[in-house]
Every structure is written in C-alpha cells, then in structure tokens.
C-alpha cells in the first residue's frame, strides 16, 4: 500500500474529516481516531481501517496524551474552527516544535482566516459561497445541492487528503512538515474550475439548467421510464448521438408493427393497421424533411491559405495531428474547411484560368474503383458477407417467429386459429426487432470501452461470431424467450456493421496521409475517402440483391423458413473466418 508506515492522528469530527482519514487508511496509513468523552456511541460509517481511543483534550492529561501521539505521528488531522486548538495549547506551533516532521492538516468550512472563518456552516453554505450552487438545478427552479457530496466530501475531505499526500511527498525532500489549511469553500471552487473556465467556449454560457451538461440538452439528461424509475442518457459525441437516434428510430419503427392497431381507436379511425403504419411513416418523413431543410447551415469556403503561418513547413502541417482518431470518431472540421495539403500544393500549380476542370465520369469512377488497394477490397467483401447474413435473418425474422416459433400458418383462413397464432408470432417478432434496435444503440456506447481491450479486429470478429452463434441457436432451438434473448446479439451485429468498417476506412486513409506526407505513400489523388465509403455502403444494396434473389428460392426449395436463420448463421460464421484472416488492421 502506498501509505504503509504513515501514522495519522485524526480528531473526531463530522463527515469531511472522517472521510479524509478513511481515504488515508484505505491506502495503507495507520489512522488513530481521537474521540471526545460523551460522544454518541455506535459504529461510524467512516471508521474503516482505523483504531480509536477516547481522550478529553480539555484536561491536562488528555492534552499530554495527544502530544505524545503527535510526537510519533506523521500527520495530524483536525476539524475545528480557528483558535480552538490554540486555546488547548495544541496548535501547530507547539506540536511542530516537538515534531518538526509533523504535517498539521486543518480542514474547515471557510478556512483559518477571513470574515467567515469563525462561523459555522454546512455543505450548502459552502456551495453557495463558492458560486457553484448558482449553477446547479433545473431551469426556472431554485438551485439545489447534490446531497452533501460536492463540498463536504469532494472540496473538503478529498482535497484535504490530496494536500496531505503532496505534503508527505514534499517532506521527502525537505525533511520538514507543514501546515495545511483546507477550506471547503476554496476546495469546491477549485473543483469547479472547469465550469468557469469553459464559459467562454459556450459550454456554460446559458442560465442554469439550459446548458448541455446540466440538463438543458435532450441527449444528456434523465427520463422517467414506464416502470416508474428513471434512465440516464449521455450521448454527447456526434457518433454516439447518431447511434442513439438510430436506435430509438429503429425501435419506434418496430413498435409500430408490434402494436395491434385494429383494436385501438386510431386503427378504427384510419381503417386498417397498415394505414396507421403508413400514416406514422409519412408523418415522420415529413418532419425529418422539414428539419433537414431548416437545420443544416451552408457557408462559403474560407481561404485557408491566409490562415497558414508562413514559417510552418508543409510536412509540419501534414503531421500536425500525428495520432490515430478515437474509435467511433470522425475528423472534426469546421464549416468551410479546405484541405491544407491542397492549399500548400496550390503554389506549385497553375493559376485557375490555366487549369483544366476535371469532371467525374463513369469511366473515371470505374478507374478509381480499380485502383482500390487489396485491403479495401477485402473490407468490402467482409462487409458484403456481414450484411448478407444480417439481412437474411432480419428480412424473414417476423415470418420465422410466426411459422417456426409459434407454429402458425400464414396461408390459413384469416379467421382460423392457425392464422391468428401466426399473426401473434409476427407481433412478437416485431418486439424482438425492437429489442435488437435498442440493444444496438446500447452496445454502441460500450464499443469505445471495448476497443482498447480487444481492438478493432476483436470487435469486428466478436460481432460476426455472436450473431452467427445466436442465429444458429434459435434455428436449432426455436423458443419464444430464447429467441427474444438472442435478439440482443442481432443488435451487436447491427452496431458492428454500422461502425467498425467505416472506422477501418478512416484508419486506412489516415495511414495513407501519413505515408504521403513522408513521401513514401501511394498517390491517392484519384480516390477520396468519400468514394471508399460509398463503395463500402454499396455492399448493403448488393447484399439486398443477393438475399432477395436467392433466399426466397432457398425457402421454397427447403419448404421451411427455418432455413433462413441457418443460412444467416452459416454466412456469419464464414464472415468470422474472413474477418480474422483477410481484413487488414492497423496497429
């Protein structure tokens, strides 16, 4: 333990000082707590790892006991207001004279000096004086303190413990102790430095409760759930917000199919459940179209050449951000961004009047596609395999639930028991697709945590493997509950297909840019990142053609929809091998 061999004398007080002592004890310090006579009995929740004794400091014998303890101690921790220990002849001047190596830590609400130093206070008072309380709370409501965590424990106990540790480190060089004046007001103000410093960036410029991180943003707040609880949403980064919206949108779409609209007022009003679905689809499409037209600003390109310092060399620009992008991120550029590499090349090219305008033709497009390096082709093939497996399962999943899991008959009379059972299976299948969509959104949050542990290769392989095993399991053991549980693995595959291949594209291009900057990379002027992403996306349409043209024939030949999930499982497991053996990963 880091503090093994360090002895701390803690004078019993309210929560902040005992918490500070507990932190020191947790890291190996020997903490002796000194209680007052007549103090409330019962176990202290912050006495973990401490020894204790009762001493009356107002009596000469008690004061002598404390002085003997401090003579052999490394740290003295006291919670009183200024002047209390001096009246008892136990102030730092006396104790450090007897033990020059003693670190005398004084933890109080307002510090040892100033107009409030001798006043009593509590967490909410310290928050108010530090200014932090004015920033906590909902818009239009009174400010409220977040329990007593921020000032008592964060700005008080934890800050004091950090000060003691730094004083112990300094003592190894000077051999002398020092007095630590830990004020909860000042500690809380220090903790809030980020909030005040970032006001000028626009992060906290709005009134309380209207900023991005204090409940003013729909993607970073809490929501009440149907079971009476609450859920927290924190999709700040654009890629996670996009995945959240995709997950919610997909879930809402599947929910429309899972609801029996024929027995509801809206279904009777519009005629049939299909008209209800088309009504909601048209409504969402119209709203998204209006939002799209009104929300995306268009600004002219700015002249980046004027912004480039003349003394900065081209190679410095090309390598100025010589680091891999975080997983799931995209290159963050401002409106009007111009590639600096092209600007630097501008001095070597002809003037605009002499340049020949290059147009993209079908021939030039095919030429660019032929110039794609082999590892790009392998990535496209793996993407095609993945989408073929995924669509094979998803396009026929509700039919699989109705026929195989529920043993219904889609060709029976519409008032027959078999057909009604089939319809029930289709509705439950929609709930399964909803689970898939929600879990896809949830899993996307964990990808950033998983990548440092297993890498992009592990993430890619795991997505295909789990999907292949899950679909194979429900094909061999078609049960309602196990099938719904396996829908979570469909979400893993969905999230994998939407993120990992495009991250690999970004990694490939970043590597090529570094190679070109060093003068050893291939010429990629005829092929851009957008073209590679488009080629990768086209694999989805190609997979739809393959599934639409071949899977129906396969079902008719086999005479059972169970062949759908078996095919999806087999293709996904083949994809596992391809992803592991042929896809290139950059360290």
Per-domain residue ranges for the chain?
7-197, 371-424+447-581
The string of pLDDT tens digits covering residues 161-176 is 999 999 999 999 999 9
The string of pLDDT tens digits covering residues 46-86 is 888 899 899 999 999 999 999 999 999 999 999 998 889 99
Listed in sequence order, the residues at least 6 apart from 304 whose beta carbon sits closer than 8 Å to its beta carbon are 337, 338, 340, 343
The fold adopted by the segment(s) 371-424+447-581 is Growth Hormone; Chain: A; (1.20.1250)
Closest CA to 245 of 440, 65, 110: 440
**CATH number of the 7-197 domain:** 3.40.50.10540
d(CA 587, CA 584): 10
Closest CA to 494 of 462, 538, 463, 454: 463
Question: Backbone phi, then psi, for 253, in 5-degree steps?
Answer: -65, -45
52 bridge partner residues:
33
Q: Which residues of 285-307 are buried (b: 16+ CB within 10 A; e: fewer)?
A: eeeeeeeeeeeeeeeeeeebeee
Q: Which residues of 515-554 are buried (b: 16+ CB within 10 A; e: fewer)?
A: ebbeeeeeebeebebebbeebbeebbeebeebbeeebeee
Across the range 311-330, mean pLDDT stands at 40
122 is a catalytic site residue: yes
Q: Which of 36-50, 241-255, 336-350, 420-434 has the highest mean pLDDT?
A: 420-434
Mean of the per-residue pLDDT values for the chain? 81
Q: Any idea which residue has 């390109």 for tokens? A: 301
Query: Which listed residue (35, 74, 123, 152) is catalytic?
Result: 152
The string of pLDDT tens digits covering residues 131-161 is 888 888 888 889 888 888 888 899 999 999 9
Q: Which residues of 410-435 are buried (b: 16+ CB within 10 A; e: fewer)?
A: eeeeeeeebbebbbebbbbbbbbbbb
Terminal-to-terminal C-alpha distance of the chain: 35
Predicted local confidence at residue 321, as pLDDT: 36
- Stated as kind and residue range, the H or E segment containing 9 is strand 7-11
Q: What percentage of the chain has pLDDT greater than the value 90?
A: 31
Q: Any idea which residue has 């079908």 for tokens? A: 362
């Amino acid at each position: 333990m880091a503090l093994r061999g360090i002895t701390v004398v803690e004078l019993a007080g309210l929560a902040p000082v005992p918490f500070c002592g507990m932190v020191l004890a947790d890291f190996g310090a020997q903490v002796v707590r000194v209680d007052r006579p007549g103090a409330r009995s019962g176990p202290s929740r912050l006495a973990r790892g401490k020894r204790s004794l009762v001493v009356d400091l107002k009596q000469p014998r008690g004061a002598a006991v404390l002085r003997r303890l401090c003579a052999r101690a490394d740290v003295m921790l006291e919670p009183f207001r200024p002047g209390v220990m001096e009246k008892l002849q136990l102030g730092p001047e006396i104790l450090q004279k007897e033990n020059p190596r003693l670190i005398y830590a004084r933890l109080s609400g307002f510090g040892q000096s100033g107009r409030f130093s001798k006043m009593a206070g509590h967490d909410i008072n310290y928050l108010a004086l530090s200014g932090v309380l004015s920033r906590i709370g909902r818009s239009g409501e009174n400010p409220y303190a977040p329990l007593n965590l921020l000032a008592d424990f964060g700005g008080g106990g934890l800050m004091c413990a950090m000060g003691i540790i730094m004083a112990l480190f300094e003592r190894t060089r000077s051999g002398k102790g020092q007095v630590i004046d830990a004020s909860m007001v000042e500690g809380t103000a220090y903790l809030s430095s980020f909030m005040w410093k970032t006001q000028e960036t626009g992060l906290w410029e709005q009134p309380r409760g209207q900023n991005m991180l204090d409940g003013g943003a729909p993607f970073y707040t809490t929501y009440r759930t149907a079971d009476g609880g609450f859920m927290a949403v924190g999709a700040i980064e654009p890629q996670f917000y996009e995945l959240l919206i995709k997950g919610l949108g997909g879930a809402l779409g599947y929910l429309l199919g899972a609801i029996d609209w024929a027995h509801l007022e809206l279904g009777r009003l519009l005629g049939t459940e299909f008209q209800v679905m088309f009504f909601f689809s048209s409504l969402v499409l119209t709203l998204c179209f209006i939002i799209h037209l009104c929300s995306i600003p268009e600004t002219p390109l700015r002249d980046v050449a004027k912004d480039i310092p003349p003394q900065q060399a081209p190679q410095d620009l090309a390598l100025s951000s010589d680091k891999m992008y975080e997983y799931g991120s995209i290159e963050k550029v401002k409106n009007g961004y111009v590639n600096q590499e092209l600007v630097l090349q501008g001095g070597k090219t002809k003037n605009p009047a002499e340049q020949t305008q290059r147009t993209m033709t079908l021939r030039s497009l095919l030429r660019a596609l032929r110039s794609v390096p082999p590892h790009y082709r392998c990535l496209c093939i793996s993407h095609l395999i993945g989408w073929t497996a995924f669509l094979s399962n998803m396009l026929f999943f509700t039919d699989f639930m109705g026929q195989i899991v529920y043993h219904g008959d889609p060709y029976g009379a519409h008032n027959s028991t078999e057909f009604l059972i089939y319809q029930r299976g289709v509705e439950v299948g929609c709930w399964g697709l909803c689970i898939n969509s929600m879990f896809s959104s949830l899993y996307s949050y964990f990808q950033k945590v998983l990548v440092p542990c297993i890498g992009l290769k592990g993430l890619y392989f795991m997505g295909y493997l789990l999907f292949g095993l899950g679909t194979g399991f429900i094909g061999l053991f078609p049960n309602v509950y196990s099938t719904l549980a396996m829908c979570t693995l469909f979400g893993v595959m969905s999230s994998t297909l939407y993120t990992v291949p495009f991250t690999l594209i970004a990694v490939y291009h970043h590597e090529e840019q570094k190679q070109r900057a060093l003068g050893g990379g291939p010429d990629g002027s005829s092929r851009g990142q957008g073209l590679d992403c488009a080629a990768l996306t086209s694999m989805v349409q190609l997979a739809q053609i393959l599934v639409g043209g071949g899977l129906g024939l396969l079902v008719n030949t086999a005479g059972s929809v169970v062949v759908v999930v078996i095919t999806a499982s087999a293709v996904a497991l083949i994809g596992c091998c391809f992803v592991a053996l042929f896809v290139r990963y950059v360290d």
